[in-house]
Amino acid sequence: MAVKIQTPQGTIEITNESIATIVGGAVTNILGIVGMASKNQIKDNLNSVLHKENYAKGVVIRQEGENIAVDVYTIVSYGVKLSEVSYNVQEKVKYNLQTILGITANSVNVYVQGVRVLDE
C-alpha cells in the first residue's frame, strides 16, 4: 500500500517503506530513544533493536484522506521521562514528514515496546 497525493500535475505515490525510513531515521536521532522495535515481536521473532533496513517493521502507516496516521514502536533508555521522549518523537516525525515529503500527519502514536539500560 502506498500513500497517494493528488496534485494538479498528477498523482504521487509514496511507499510505506519510504515513509518508514524517514520516520525511523527521525526517531532514532532523538535523545532517550535506543532504537526502533518490531510491532509484532513474537511473530517476527525479533526482540532486539531494528536496523535501518528493517524500520518498516516498527512503523505502521495508515492513510486518512490527504493525511496519514503513524504508529511508531520504540525502545527507550532507562531513566528518561517517557512523556517528554514521546512528545519529542511526535513533533520530530510530524516535522520531518511535512518538510521532506509534504505530508501532514493527523496523529503520531508512540508505543514503548521496551526499556534498555545503556552500558557506559
Q: pLDDT tens digits for 39-66?
A: 775 555 555 666 666 777 888 998 887 7
**How far is the C-alpha of 43 from the C-alpha of 52, rounded, in Å?**
20
Span between the terminal Cα atoms of the chain, in Å: 41
Q: What is the pLDDT of residue 93?
A: 94
Give the CA diameter of the chain: 53
- pLDDT on residue 52: 61
At residue 80 the predicted structure's pLDDT band, cuts being 50, 70 and 90, is very high
Stretch among 1-15, 49-63, 79-93 having the lowest mean pLDDT: 49-63
Q: What percent of the chain has pLDDT over 70?
A: 85
Residue 114 pLDDT: 86
| pLDDT (tens digit per residue) in 9-42 | 998 888 888 888 899 889 989 999 988 887 775 5
Rg (alpha carbons) of the chain, rounded to whole number:
15
Domain boundaries, the chain: 15-116
**pTM for the full model?**
0.83
15-116 CATH: 3.30.70.1350
Measured CA to CA, the distance from residue 120 to residue 87 in angstroms comes to: 26
Question: Hunting for cell 518538510 — which residue is that?
Answer: 99
